[in-house]
Amino acid sequence: MKEITILSGKGGAGKTTVTAALASLATNAVFCDNDVDAADLHLIFKPEILETHKFSSGSIATINQDACTNCGLCETSCRFDAIHSNSDGYPEVNPFQCEGCRLCERICPAEAITTHENFNNHWFVSETRFGALVHAKMGPGEENSGKLVSRIREKAREIAIKTKADIIINDGPPGIGCSAISSITGTNLVLLVIEPTISGLHDAKRLIELVHSFKIPMLALINKYDINTDSTAEVEEYLKQNEIEIIGRVPFDTKMVDSMVHEQSIVEFSPRSKASEELKQSWNLIARSLEYYQ
């Protein structure tokens, strides 16, 4: 069983569109939406949720104001500036700033503070027309996206082993944050989706450095390659210098947008379009390349 992670240096490069197209072409695959901060694969996959699980984003402090003597110690001691007086003059914890360090709990002379697990994130196992999908939803302002990605990838692997799937396709997050790092770890291959723009290349360079530091093989697909031929040439030159093979050049096609509006992949919506044809060829090259990567 092989695993591929689809990534882009920045949002809006077409990563999810490409993932959906490859989902239409892959057989016997399990899918995992690693973009837990802004999950959107479900919009096309239209999953039927079979399992819902809670995921802790860490600990958070709560103050029992009935027990509080208002000594002010917690407010002055919190290193994260997470405790402030409310309109009644009593201390209150800001859940978005609390790091769950438990200092306030330990020092409160009235034992008015307790910390508890914050289960504001959820992850799901779903059935879709393409195969099983593991995905997640983070609560507003929640953290620990890297750990959540690791958890859902672990579940996707479990399902893939159980169902004897040939491949796991991860739709990774944009950028180089914690969740991107968690998406890269242990994958067999990274597919970089890049748009030929100045910012597209700038952000892709940082991602390429990151993936290279993990020594994971990387292929590239240029999306909307025909919107700016000069930029495309620059992107191609950079990829060549970094020995990254280009496996596809997808043309700009308004049908791509139409397919999203119809909640379908481009391959489903317009199978004979130029974009679909190019993506089919790209998928064949990816499948062939995967045979060589352990």
Kindly list the residues in this chain that would bind ligand SF4 in the complex (CB under 6 A): 61, 63, 68-74, 78, 80, 82-83, 91, 93, 98-104, 108-110, 112-113, 115
Q: Is the dihedral of CA 208, 266, 286, 236 positive or negative?
A: negative
Q: What's the sign of the alpha-carbon dihedral 178, 124, 266, 286?
A: positive
Backbone angles phi, psi at 220, to 5 degrees: -130, 150
* Closer residue to ligand SF4 in complex, CB, 142/268: 142
Task: Rank residues 23 and 113 by Cβ distance to ligand SF4 and give the closer one.
Answer: 113
Nearest to residue 20, comparing CAs of 225, 124, 169? 169
Two structure tokens written together for 53: 């699980």
- 114 or 128, CB closer to ligand SF4? 114
Select 27 or 69, whichever has its Cβ closest to ligand SF4.
Answer: 69
CB of 151 to ligand SF4, least distance (A): 23
Alpha carbon distance 13, 204 (integer Å):
10
Helices (H), the chain: 15-25, 42-45, 73-77, 103-107, 145-163, 178-184, 198-213, 229-241, 254-261, 266-269, 274-290
Beta carbon of residue 67, minimum distance to ligand SF4 (angstroms, whole number): 7
User: Distance from first CA to last CA of the chain, Å, rounded?
Assistant: 9
* CB 76 to ligand SF4: min, Å: 9
- Return the number of the residue (97 or 242) whose C-beta is nearest ligand SF4: 97
Q: Measured from the CB atom, is 69 or 229 closer to ligand SF4?
A: 69
Instruction: Quote the least distance from Cβ 102 to ligand SF4, whole Å.
Output: 5
* Distance in Å, CB of 146 to ligand SF4, minimum: 20
Min dist CB 117 to ligand SF4, Å, is 13
Read off the tokens for 261: 């509006």
